[in-house]
Structure 1
Amino acid sequence: MITSVNQNRTKILLANLLKARFPYLYISTWEEDRVLSVIRSVAQDIELIKTPREVLIWRMTTGILDSKCQPKGECKTPLKALEFIERYDKPCIVVLQDFHVYFGSQGRLPDFQVIRKLRDMLTNIKQSPSPINVIFTSPFLILPEDLQKDITIVDFDLPTFEEIKSVLDEMISINEQSGRIKISLTVEERERLAKAALGLTLSEAENAFARAMVEDGRLDIKDVGVILEEKEQIIKKTGILEFITSELRIEDVGGLENLKRWLTKRNKSWLDSARKYGLPAPKGVLITGVPGCGKSLISKSISSMWQLPLLRLDMGKIFSGIVGSSEENMRKAIKTAEAISPSILWIDEIEKGFSGISNGGDSGTSSRIFGQFLTWMQEKTSPVFVIATANNISGLPPELMRKGRFDEIFFVDLPTTRERKEILKVHINKRLKDPEVIGQFQLTDEMLESLAVKCEGFVGAEIEQLIIDALFEAYAEERSIFLEDFERAIANTVPLSVTQAEQIRAIRDWANIRAVTATPQEDREDYTKESVPVSNTRSNPDSRDNIDDIRFNRGGRTIDF
């Protein structure tokens, strides 16, 4: 039997289980000291539990210790410890630490004598004149089938925001008195720093705050990065999620102003200040559109704008070869994302993981994982913002697009003239730093306008590549860059809008009624005035028809945020 515990009700639930004489409880946690503190406080609280109880602790290295850490007989072996419990005649709670090693873990067979002894003890414990409860604590949940009906599993949540903020406030108070560390935090910034540490144990949070203080002798909002580095350690140990460190800013993404404004309005929405307006934390967005138009780029930039950890879920790692492990991998990924929330979970090219789930070629594994993911998306309460990107939207099941899964579905089309100018400006300024390379070249608005018109039909990735190609021309001849280098690179490129015109048309047809355009109306109107560049027509005789066809049929519903 599994009992799910909300952290602020842990003591009440634990007290009720103890009063009801549940013989065996199992708490899976890394925080031994914290769970022992909760158990001891419940055991002596006469308002929660009628009969106060002594707390005994067993470890294989020490045997059974009383509340004063004094040994209670020679009971280092598990069978001796269980015999001691069976004979004990006083009200007590016995905490057996790391007992999972006898239940069969890491490829070891379970100790059947220990399991049999536990089953034999059940009647005596239940009928004992003095209430006795046994609590197993371990970092891992290992439960033999023989005991599944006899053990109650209690979830012990990670520290709440209030607990972590209490630790932070205490550390700040101590350092303010000593004057050795300069504290520069507003009330809201303290809240953000504590929120950033959610998902860490109290010990890990305390270490992270201490490290942030000693690195530069001060504690300010910039130290959120230090907290995220500590969280990165958790992600690395899962093997399924990847912690993405990105220095991209939202300003580094050219165009897509509609999507940018939507995201900007939802910044800080996971803070307590949003509760005044009755606002829930946003669930996520599905971003679809033409390949190479900035879907992945904007996904990475959200992390720096919101100052939240970005986790990339690799669907290929979810589907492993061991039967039953795929479902466990998905549960583990979701649990990890929730543990370090508020966080951003990025699923790139989601259609590759969930396409073709109806064919049943994998004995229903894909369908089960898909159902598991949908249920979590619909019912999740933890502030985990999901960003899913897709190129081939037709490969996604329709259930994924239903309202309630994502807050909004955005369509990213070929960049307009104004957007291409922004993309050109961002990438040219990003790469042109050395005065010798710049030479006499001056990036003017007229030059950007001319280049933007010439590269009509280019996606953002192609614009970045043509700038790289132009710089290679100058590098090969060991000279400064010229405007002609960019124009030559444009002329030598056949854009995706030509080679995949049919696919783009199909994506737009889908998006016209199902998605919101990431480009605002004023930029879309500007797009219809553009002309087809001669360079593209020369590169591909059919390009004029292809670009004309897609130019006047842009996809996505127009909603300005």
Structure 2
Amino acid sequence: MTRAFRDDLSQLLKARLPILYIESYEESRVVAEVTAVARDGTRVRTPRAVWTWSLTQGLVQPDGVPRRGTTEPDAALSAVLRLDEPSVVILHDLHPVLGGDGRPGDPQVIRRLRDVAAAFKSGPVPRTLVLVSPLLRIPAELDRDVTILDFPLPAEAEIRRVLDGLIAANSTSGRIQIRLDPVERERFAKAALGLTLHEAENAFARAIVNDGALDIHDLAVVHEEKRQAVRKSGLLEVVDTAIHLADVGGLENLKRWLAKRDGSWLAAAAEYGLPAPRGVLITGVPGCGKSLTAKAVAAAWELPLIRFDIGRVFSGLVGSSEQNLRTAIRTAEATSPCVLWVDEIEKGLAPDTGGDSGTSSRVFGTFLTWMQEKRRPVFVIATANDIGRLPPELLRKGRFDEIFFVDLPTQVERRSIWTVHLTRRLRNPAVAGGLVLDDSLLTELCALTEGYSGAEIEQAVIGGLFEAFSARRPLHRDDLVRAVATMVPLSVTQAERIGTLRAWAATRAVAATAAEDWDLGGGPAPGQPGPDSLPPHAAGGRVVEY
């Protein structure tokens, strides 16, 4: 437990604030921490006895003996009003009678809580009521009487003690093999951040019994536990990915930048004085690998990939959109370290036209503030197809570490993309037939697909395979050539839009393609005359080599 919580609680107790509200699923941790502070004479001038209440046990005295006739909330609060000793009373799960979700609360209980607040403020002895619940429900009548106290999830040190204890308890038997070095233990503890102690212990135990060993490959079990927590939020989605950076054809400049930041959330990076990286904004031509890169980074870094659909944030209830965004941010931070993928960010954060009473502006402001101030290792990968729709505040330094522009693949990159997709789909010799991925075939295919995106090359491979499948024969070279010839690429249908994107990126973004991979002698892309077909740096743009 962080010292900050105990410091905050002791201040509130000494200030004699009558009612505190702690939102948490971890009742036992809350009770332990509140009890430790309430009984510590160095933190509070007058030590206090700790009472507890639940609907099943009623009011339980400090000696552990339940008081009869106090299982109902109103009866328990009436008994609390008669306490004449310094005390802290912890009430569990009172939220059902406080209303919420369109349901009114119990007026008698709410009135009794107001009586308790008035009595505790002016009483001769210090008394405090602490409401502990997994849901935050405060009726409007109690807004001025209740103080919300944040209770953080377990810190890394607490999770590490659980992990070390589990390892110590199982390593002596000889039946369980522990194959973790100190850095890998740190990775396990950081991976479990965002889980409760009970959830973390369950994840570690499940990882051990999975195969009778505990090694770095068992991180997937911890990520599965996190998946459950993320899914319950309803705003975020954990994406399964088995894609590796090697599966992304080209974009070597971007891949090198990302590779250098692998592990930058660990203690070893802190020794260099490095903060956790904030994230990147990847813009460019649709279908050129932006989303694929986000998936590959999470797999390469062995971190959970969380997809954030900003469209889910907006809803019809007044004020709920802002609350939804705060919930999504809190869930992502609880899941950290992680990769947060915001796909097509311009669709959710583009400036509003004034028709939503400023909701979009408020959501955008909240997101900007979090991007600027966040301290948890949440690496944001945002992709945008129409960068012009994004407000300039999002693009300045401090929000993202870098902005990368992904252009149509060069000849070198097209060769890599063709190789990746053909190798992946021609594993069956009966399908591959006599097709050989030699230099002459790849050179021909690269020449035929000048101006084609990576997604279009993939569809050409799939189209050729459909030709072969329909005749129940192996894939031929002509199948691929025919699939390419019948396709009209985006570089033709969206020539003006791509030209605008390139003009914007010329001085504002870093080329995702490495300088050595540009093939300037190949001529303009189909349908694009002159300089518009050149990559950003060839037209005077900025190229930075990482």
TM-score by length of 1: 0.94
Q: CA deviation at 1:544?
A: 4.9
Pair 1:68–1:444, CA change in 2 (3 A): farther
Give the whole-Å Cα distance in 2 for the aligned partners of 1:363 and 1:123. Answer: 39
Separation in structure 2 between the aligned mates of residue 33 and residue 503 of structure 1, nearest angstrom:
58
1:460 equivalenced with 2:454 (yes/no): yes
In the alignment of these two chains, the number of paired residues is: 543
- Other-structure match for 2:308: 313
1:550 pairs, out of 524, 532, 537, with: 532
**Equivalent in 512, 516, 529 of residue 522 of structure 1:** 516
1:419 aligned to which of 413, 417, 425: 413
Q: Deviation of residue 254 (structure 1)?
A: 0.2
- Asked if the contact 1:498–1:547 (Cα under 8 Å) also holds between the matched residues in 2, the reply is no
2:52 to 50, 57, 71: 57
Which residue of the partner structure matches residue 285 of structure 1? 280
- Asked if 1:276 is matched to 2:276, the reply is no
2:155 is aligned to: 160
For residues 121-149 of structure 1, give each alpha carbon's deviation from its aligned partner in whole angstroms, at most 9, with x where no partner exists.
Answer: 33432333332111010001111111111
Cα distance in 1 for residues equivalent to 2:64 and 2:175: 37
Q: Give the alignment of 1:386-535 within 5 angstroms.
A: 386-524=380-518, 527-531=519-523
Q: Tell me the distance in 2 between the aligned counterparts of 1:149 and 1:124.
A: 15
Please say if residues 7 and 156 of structure 1, whose CA atoms lie closer than 8 Å, have aligned partners that are also in contact.
Answer: no
Q: Secondary structure at the match of 1:513?
A: coil
Which of 191, 197, 200 in structure 2 is aligned with 1:196? 191
Deviates further, 46-55 or 493-502 = 46-55
The superposition leaves residues 320-362 of structure 1 with CA deviations (integer Å, 9 ceiling, x where unpaired) of 12221111111111110011111111111111112232x2111
Q: Does the 8 Å contact 1:100/1:140 carry over to 2?
A: yes
1:163-242 matches, cutoff 5 A: 163-242=158-237
Deviates more, 1:187-196 or 1:87-96: 87-96
State the distance in 1 between where 2:111 and 2:17 align.
Answer: 18
Equivalent runs, 1:253-272 vs 2, <5 Å: 253-272=248-267
Of 357, 379, 398, 1:385 maps to 379
Q: Is the 8 A contact 2:499 2:533 kept in 1?
A: no
The residue type paired with residue 451 of structure 2 is G
**Letter in structure 2 aligned against 1:259:** L
CA contact (8 A) 2:495 2:527 kept: no
Partner of 1:560: 545
Aligned to 2:413, what secondary structure does the other structure show? helix
TM-aligned CA deviation for residue 545 of structure 1: 5.0
1:119 aligns to what? 114
CA contact (8 A) 1:497 1:547 kept: no
> Structure 2 CA distance, aligned partners of 1:171 and 1:473?
56
Q: Tell me by how many angstroms 1:481 deviates.
A: 1.7
Residue 548 of structure 1 deviates from its aligned partner by 4.9
1:108 deviation in Å? 2.4
Matching residue of 2:124: 129
Match of 2:333 in 1: 338
Q: CA deviation at 1:54?
A: 1.4
CA contact (8 A) 1:451 1:487 kept: yes
Unaligned runs of 5+ in 1: 1-5, 533-542
Q: Is the 8 A contact 2:48 2:88 kept in 1?
A: yes
Cα root mean square deviation, aligned: 1.5
Equivalent position amino acid for 2:98 in 1: F
CA distance in 2, matches of 1:232, 1:419: 34
Deviation at 1:100, TM superposition (A): 1.6
For 1:274, the aligned partner's letter is A
Q: Secondary structure in 1 aligned to 2:296? A: helix
Question: Aligned equivalents of 1:29 and 1:394: distance in 2?
Answer: 42
Q: Cα distance, 1:553 vs. partner?
A: 5.0
How far off its partner does 1:73 sit?
3.2
Q: Deviations over 1:393-446 (max 9, x none)?
A: 111111110111100000000000000000000000000011111222211133
Letter matched to residue 533 of structure 2: R
Distance, in Å, in 1 between the alignment partners of 2:154 and 2:171 is: 24
Q: Is the 8 A contact 2:505 2:536 kept in 1?
A: no
1:95-127 CA-partner distances (Å, limit 9, x unpaired): 011112221134321122222222223343233
Q: How far, CA to CA, are the matches of 2:278 and 2:30 in structure 1? A: 32
| Separation (CA, whole Å) in 1 of partners of 2:527 and 2:427 | 39
Q: Is the 8 A contact 1:168 1:206 kept in 2?
A: yes
2:359 maps to 1:365: yes
Q: Which runs of 4+ in 1 moved over 3 A?
A: 547-550, 553-556
Work out the CA distance in 2 between the residues paired with 1:414 and 1:242: 29
Superposed CA deviations along residues 490-549 of structure 1, whole A, max 9, x for unmatched, are: 22222111111111100000000110000111112xx211147xxxxxxxxxx7552655
Q: Report the residue type matching 2:129 in the other structure.
A: V
- The Cα offsets for residues 263-314 of structure 1, whole Å up to 9 and x where unpaired, read as 0001100111111110000111110000100001101111101111111111
Cα distance in 1 for partners of 2:5, 2:74 equals 30
1:506 aligned partner, one-letter code: T
User: 1:373-401: CA deviations, max 9, x gaps?
Assistant: 00111111111111110111111111110
> Which amino acid in 1 is paired with 2:463?
D
Q: Is the CA contact (8 Å cut-off) linking 2:346 and 2:384 kept in structure 1?
A: yes
Q: In 1, are the aligned partners of 2:491 and 2:527 still within 8 Å (CA)?
A: no
